[in-house]
Structure 1
Amino acid sequence: MSTTPLTTHHQRQHIDTILRTVADTEARTPAQNEAGIIARSWRRCIDRYGLDPARPTPARYVPGATLREHQDQADALLQVARAGVEQLYRQVAPLSYVVLLTDARGIAVQFLGAKSDQREHQRTGLYLGSDWSESHAGTCAVGTCIHERTALTCHHSDHFSAHHIQLTCTAAPVFDPHGQLLAVLDISAYRSPSAKESQTFALQLVKTTARMIEDAYFLQRYGDRHIVCLDRSREFVQINRRYLLAMEEDGTLVAANTAGRKLLRHHGLPLPEAGEARPFQAWNIRDLLDGEVSEVLAIPQHSDDRVQAFHTRRHREIHFATLIEPPRRPGANRSLPRDSSLAPLEALAEDDPSMRDTLTRAARLRNEPINILVMGETGTGKERMARALHDSSRRRDKPFVAINCAAMPESLIESELFGHEPGSFTGARSKGMKGLIVQADGGTLFLDEIGDMPLQLQTRLLRVLAEQEVLPIGASRPIKVDLRVVAATHRDLRELIQAGRFREDLFYRLNGASLRLPPLRERADKGYLIRQIFAELNEQRGSRVRLRGDAMSALLAYPWPGNIRELHNALHYALATCDGDEVVVGDLPEECVHGQLAHPGASQGQALSTATGSSARPLHQDLLYRALCRHQWNVSAVARELGLSRPTIYRRMKRLGIVPPNQQMAD
């Protein structure tokens, strides 16, 4: 084996240890423990991969286009894993760890780390797009975890390459519902105590988080089936959900999480081992539990805690079971009355508790002859709520007239609201005009930003509400109207009343009932709203663009100060500026990417741009220009850095008016 000169005595010792260990293990099989795992990996590195411990292996990154392919293939997992990866990072970031999520081939498809250590991340390979397969990087937590399919810590000199011996890395596998390796979760640090025992807690933390990600993926993948959750403890079965079994209505088992597959094997129901290509064996829940399928399906009605105890058939062990039932219909809320006319209200939210309470109240009020005041921050969807109230009521076939009291000029608002007779004032229409209030007769009048209505008009509006009639300007006889008024405001009307800027009697006329909309940052159903609005915009544009997982992660992490209106604008922007048939994180407005924990799911280029202090979006003219200058106008190098294709770079240069210096000189 050829060697190259080494820089430190420590590295020479490391190489000698590897060579001695490999020689010693030629005549015997290493023990089935972590030391044995490391020894087996060292031998594979030399015998199978032809690696040389004396030749430090530099970090290797896949090209941007290849990284996007890996992210696309892991898209469903990335959307589910985001919360777990970010939670893990928050726990380990104070100890200077980074977090990597790689796919089953060892390519880092998600990364979180301190931006201040950006260069060190890239140099060492603890970064997005890096290749940690054992065949390239040698013995390491990710690559060896992939090969051995078990969690492990690769600490300092456990690594094969001398390039990595300063690192401590801990990884755990994430399996799909059939036991195939789906991903590897890893935390790594540049500085740590020399004793490997210092990483014991890190190993447990990564294993726990990997299991959470795996189970969340399982629950999403089989959300349309009945899922039986089992545990040995009644108190923890609904929280811990240790064993997960997905089944059909007749009790046929279709999948199980890792713990569930072990449980089935323990009770004599053989399943393929992890990594085998054989399909899931279709056992029935009756083969495991001593009970009928009907008993399992009736668990939610069985007791107050929705838990039932069963014996297992083979070992007669007691397991406590609870059942997650599939939704009866997507987006529907069982707490709302069963009425098809409620669809407009149901579409406003999915499972956010505050919104569901608000919508339950709205459903009960929609046909009542009282006015409603909708409150919430700017952009929270107050007009959407007003229109949904109208569309779900018996007035749905009558007009819905919306008036923005803040946007209408004070000089025109009176005639616009109440109408006028011919020639009743200078500039009046020759044929007169029917006011917006009269136009809303029989339907719903929506008064947006009611807090900005001038005081003198508040008095006239109060009379309309009290007498259900309107007197146009210049008319001698009032017109009877049948109105349902929905008013909206982001202001505190009680404060305006105290300041003398809003009539108290009008407030009580408008506030027959109130509905409060939560800000988007506090809603639990942000993902639903993002998908819904994205689908609406796609339909309006006649396009079939998809929203990739890295973009969804950035959208979910952003606090949305402008609420749903800002979300709508951001998605509209992304659809208008994206290249091809998908929206990626780089297509989002700059502010939607800036300020995340680091750059989860972003491309290398977006992360690199934050290190140079420029915009997080590669669409930004200054960012692209700087990248081109940094690489002496080598478009291929810029494409690799920004994680984009060369044609995309050329298109964006043309769109942004960026011309290479040699072309400028020629011109």
Structure 2
Amino acid sequence: MGELTAHAEHVYTCTQRDSAVANSSIVASWRRCIAMHRLAPEQIRVSLRLSGEELKSARQASENLIADALSELDRLCATVGKSGCCLILTDSNGVALERRGVAGDDKHFHELGLWTGSVWTEASIGTNGIGTAIADGRSVTILRDQHFFCSNITLSCTTAPIRDHRGQLAAALDISTCRDDVNEVTLGILGQMARDAALRIEINLFRSAFAGARFLMVPAASNPTAALLAVDRHDLVLGATRAARLALKLDDSRIAAGLPAADALQEQSISANEDLVDAERAALLRALSRSSGNVSQAAVALGISRATLHRKMKRLNLH
């Protein structure tokens, strides 16, 4: 009991100091819980739980997310599940849509609210990995008494946000554990695993949103693996991941206006005439490649005579 009282007093003391709030994202979250959500750290509170119909509706709204995340959840659970960890996939509202864990740990995690249908927002359950990651829009790790409520200080969690094909926050992936031997180093490793899995889910979402498009990696980005452009057959950008948007300073309006991938990637500019010549050369090369170099077959595919194709090849130095 004394530990719980000490925790509550510590939360109140820290949140009264502006310097602590400015220097710590955890303390900033504690202050939000008190000032915005009217919560008290000494309260005994469990997460809200949706009804069966409400959960069904939430899952239907996120069916594409769930489909693109299932394989990553299963893979991650196979790695960390037996070590006493629980995995939660939520939507952008903090609603737990999918859960993974070992059956022997189910009862304990269910009591804590780490179960499908539970709502893990700051407004619902105070500072926690999922709710704070959603509120801050970034990866968050919460170790035991960094949680807001005294009732959650046995829990440690690390959460990575998941963004959709437009770079908007769409979900969160959380790894939680109640093991006593978990420390900052261990949570750091789990956090990296969560971020890696979240990134793969983001890429799955992006590819699904632009099925049939070509995908280009942005080499100038800090993380080229995450910085992708979806490009149509005319070399116009259809979409960009958040990492690509940040690296290339793209937004929805620039993409919707019809942006050539070469312009987005800031490749060396050429004149309109040179652009047409390059396009013609590329079309001829594709036709010749598909016909294994047979000029007659390539001419038929292009709808021109063999003589015309030879003249074009000579003009473009393709002989």
- The TM-score, its normalising length taken from structure 1, stands at 0.39
Choose which of 77, 91, 94 in structure 2 pairs with 1:103. Answer: 91
2:262 counterpart residue number: 286
**How do 1:14-29 residues align onto structure 2 when only pairs under 5 Å count?**
14-25=7-18
2:177 counterpart residue number: 189
Shift of 1:159: 0.5
Structure 1 position 260 matched with structure 2 position 253: no
Shift of 1:194: 5.7
In structure 2, C-alpha distance between the alignment counterparts of 1:16 and 1:280, rounded to whole Å? 51
| C-alpha distance after superposition, 1:394-418 (max 9, x if no partner) | xxxxxxxxxxxxxxxxxxxxxxxxx
In structure 1, C-alpha distance between the alignment counterparts of 2:228 and 2:101, rounded to whole Å? 32
2:227 counterpart residue number: 243
Shift of 1:12: 1.3
2:53 counterpart residue number: 65
| C-alpha distance after superposition, 1:313-355 (max 9, x if no partner) | xxxxxxxxxxxxxxxxxxxxxxxxxxxxxxxxxxxxxxxxxxx
| C-alpha distance after superposition, 1:279-326 (max 9, x if no partner) | 85643212224157868x96xx89xxxxxxxxxxxxxxxxxxxxxxxx
1:161 counterpart residue number: 149
In structure 2, C-alpha distance between the alignment counterparts of 1:281 and 1:187, rounded to whole Å? 37
In structure 2, C-alpha distance between the alignment counterparts of 1:225 and 1:260, rounded to whole Å? 16
1:271 counterpart residue number: 251
Equivalent position SS for 2:216 = strand
In structure 1, C-alpha distance between the alignment counterparts of 2:180 and 2:30, rounded to whole Å? 23
Tell me the number of residue pairs that the alignment of Structure 1 and Structure 2 aligns.
Answer: 273
Q: Which runs of 5+ in 1 are unaligned?
A: 1-7, 273-277, 303-667
CA RMSD of aligned residues (A): 2.6
Structure 1 position 123 matched with structure 2 position 111: yes
% of aligned pairs identical?
Answer: 25
Residues 231 and 242, structure 1, Cα contact 8 Å, conserved in 2: no
Structure 1 position 30 matched with structure 2 position 18: no
Residues 168 and 192, structure 1, Cα contact 8 Å, conserved in 2: no
In structure 2, C-alpha distance between the alignment counterparts of 1:221 and 1:206, rounded to whole Å? 22
Residues 264 and 271, structure 1, Cα contact 8 Å, conserved in 2: no
In structure 2, C-alpha distance between the alignment counterparts of 1:145 and 1:174, rounded to whole Å? 10
Structure 1 position 223 matched with structure 2 position 211: yes
In structure 1, C-alpha distance between the alignment counterparts of 2:120 and 2:254, rounded to whole Å? 29
Structure 1 pair 47–165 and aligned structure 2 pair: CA distance change class (3 A):
same
Structure 1 pair 45–284 and aligned structure 2 pair: CA distance change class (3 A):
same
Shift of 1:29: 5.3
Shift of 1:225: 1.9
Q: Which has the higher helix share?
A: 2
1:347 counterpart residue number: none
Shift of 1:117: 2.0
Equivalent position SS for 1:30 = helix
1:172 counterpart residue number: 160
| Letter aligned with residue 267 of structure 2 | D
Residues 98 and 188, structure 1, Cα contact 8 Å, conserved in 2: yes
Shift of 1:232: 6.8
Residues 178 and 279, structure 1, Cα contact 8 Å, conserved in 2: no
Equivalent position SS for 1:56 = coil
Choose which of 62, 69, 74 in structure 2 pairs with 1:86. Answer: 74
In structure 1, C-alpha distance between the alignment counterparts of 2:220 and 2:246, rounded to whole Å? 14
Shift of 1:152: 1.0
Residues 41 and 148, structure 2, Cα contact 8 Å, conserved in 1: yes
| C-alpha distance after superposition, 1:474-507 (max 9, x if no partner) | xxxxxxxxxxxxxxxxxxxxxxxxxxxxxxxxxx
| Letter aligned with residue 258 of structure 1 | R
Shift of 1:121: 1.6
Residues 21 and 27, structure 2, Cα contact 8 Å, conserved in 1: no
Shift of 1:261: 1.6
| Letter aligned with residue 250 of structure 1 | H
Tell me which structure has the larger Cα radius of gyration.
Answer: 1
In structure 2, C-alpha distance between the alignment counterparts of 1:108 and 1:120, rounded to whole Å? 16
Equivalent position SS for 2:38 = coil
2:195 counterpart residue number: 207
| Letter aligned with residue 143 of structure 1 | G
In structure 2, C-alpha distance between the alignment counterparts of 1:205 and 1:20, rounded to whole Å? 34
